[in-house]
Amino acid sequence: MKKVVFSAMLIFANYISFAQEGKFNKADVDKELAAKVATEKPDSLKKWKVGSLFNVNFTNTSLNNWAAGGQNAQTISSLFTSYANLLEDHHSWNNYIELGYGQSKLGSANFRKGDDKIILTSKYGRNLSKKTSITALVDFRTQFDKGSKFEIDKATGSEKETYISNFLAPAYFVGSLGFQIKPNEKFFIVLSPVTTKTTIVNSEILSNAGAYGVSVGKKSRIELGAYTNIGAKFSIAKNVTYQANANLFMNYKTLNKIDVFFDNLISMKVNNFIVTTFNYTVLYDDDIKTKKNDGTIIGPKLQRKSVLTVGLNFKLL
């Protein structure tokens, strides 16, 4: 804003000088001032770094008299990411949103959900030194749509659908206070000895089953513990970027059990519009029990998900 005011004063001075010589008129001054103001950002906005990216992918397999066999298949998926980061004096505020959704269809079956995620993260920091800061972080995760597990019933040979998730069922909210160590722009680690983790199961069916660690009939569970967040992002080759984010939570009541969410993303940029990505996620939560086909609970297991996409990339900001 100071630059805009200074520019206006300078233009006005030129106007007074040139007007006496008949070289400038008021219309010229107004036009130049408007152009100058249009190119200047307010001082408050210059401190923010913002960006958004939208990616959409579609695949189609169509077979006609194909001797080798197979089925027609269609898949569509999309991913939206956006960030807004503020850096001012000794303060920083980083905000991130990630929205992903995809469905696929195999043969004559209906479309079924593949990828589905909502991730919102906000982190505030107050610098203690160039590489360390006091940090407060909130992280919220859930999904958009109903989720089902499909299995073949051995007794009947038919496919069985089991309802296992939905919007806010589950949802995870983490609030933590601790310290961040950031030696460079490629790596950081947050250590939070004071952390609350809230698990939400906003579904009568799932809460009555005691799903995701909530008590039977309850729709939420609050845990107090320690939290660690580790992040890294760097180039491994020309136009190839690797990004990792690991979240670890330990309940103080069960110190020998650690919940893990480890997300890996490799992006390969072909050109400004075509990008190939490979996303590999590992999740372990002791509160998420697995079942056999007969309903027998066999305890928690390591969960893994991988998604390979090639699609169009649109940079919005």
Secondary structure of the chain in HEC code, one letter for each residue: CHHHHHHHHHHHHHHHHHHHHCCCCHHHHHHHHHHHHHHCCCHHHHCEEEEEEEEEEEEEECCCCCCCCCCCEEEEEEEEEEEEEEEECCEEEEEEEEEEEEEEEECCCCCEEEEEEEEEEEEEEEECCCCEEEEEEEEEEECCCCEEEEEECCCCCCEEEEEEEECCECEEEEEEEEEEEEEECCEEEEEEEEEEEEEECCCHHHHHCCHHHCCCCCCEEEEEEEEEEEEEEEEEECCEEEEEEEEEEEECCCCCCEEEEEEEEEEEECCCCEEEEEEEEEEECCCCCEECCCCCEEECCCEEEEEEEEEEEEECC
What are 182-233's pLDDT values in tens digits? 999 899 999 999 999 999 999 999 999 999 999 999 999 999 999 999 999 9
The answer to whether 3 and 40 are in contact (CB under 8 A) is yes
Mean pLDDT by 10-residue block, N- to C-terminus, for the chain (317 residues)?
49 48 52 56 73 88 80 90 92 95 89 93 95 96 94 81 94 97 95 97 95 94 97 94 96 94 93 88 88 68 87 79
Please name each of the domains of the chain with its CATH number: 1-46 (no CATH), 49-315 (2.40.230)
pTM of the model: 0.80
pLDDT value of position 19: 47
Measured from the Cβ of residue 232, the count of other Cβ atoms closer than 10 Å reads 14
The answer to whether 204 and 231 are in contact (CB under 8 A) is no
The answer to whether 230 and 250 are in contact (CB under 8 A) is no
pLDDT value of position 68: 75
pLDDT value of position 287: 86
pLDDT value of position 316: 80
pLDDT value of position 42: 58
